[in-house]
Copies of this chain bind each other. A is one copy, B any other.
């Protein structure tokens, strides 16, 4: 029994020629998304830490864990990684501080986040969904798209 070869004269073979991107192009797309994934946790954490510091004066592990919806040990491990990678400093049993690198990341991350959020709102998406979607989308929007979003939002609000 043949391996259902690509060159069989079965019915499906008719569809050869359906446009698929080249394997390399497509692989580059997926690699790009995977790359973005690596920074999602970092960005979410530093953004939250920055918010906590601004709103309450400090970033405590328990608050980070509660606001992320995870347990303290899980948060603790990620904070350790963030420290290893130079985004935060923290000493045992003390609260967490952002390094300059961490602050920069937090700021650009919040900026992206807000641009996406305001764009969705300007488009007419309900607040609840705008908040949910922007949280997921912010990590996957190129600079170009972000600029387009920003321009659109500006146009819309000037129309009011």
Contact = CB atoms under 8 A, between A and B. Distances in A.
Interface of A: 3-6, 8, 10, 12-13, 15-21, 23, 26-34, 36, 44, 48, 51-58, 60, 63, 66-70, 93-95, 120, 123-126, 129-133, 135-137, 139-142, 144-145, 148-149, 152
Given A4-B94, A125-B144, A18 B54 contact: yes
A32 B18 CA distance: 35
Contacts of A132: 29, 32-33, 142
Contacts of A15: 54-57
Give how many copies assemble into the complex: 2
Contact of A4 (B30, B57, B130): B57
Contacts of A120: 145
B16 A56 contact: yes
Given A18-B54, A23-B67, A140 B140 contact: yes
A136 B36 contact: yes
Contact of A55 (B3, B20, B32, B54): B20
A141 B134 CA distance: 8
Contacts of A70: 30
B148 A57 contact: no
B58 A4 contact: yes
A51 to B, nearest CB: 6
Contacts of A5: 58
22 contacts: A3-B95, A4-B58, A12-B53, A12-B57, A15-B55, A20-B51, A20-B55, A20-B56, A20-B67, A26-B69, A27-B69, A30-B68, A30-B135, A33-B136, A34-B69, A126-B144, A129-B145, A132-B142, A133-B140, A133-B141, A133-B145, A136-B140
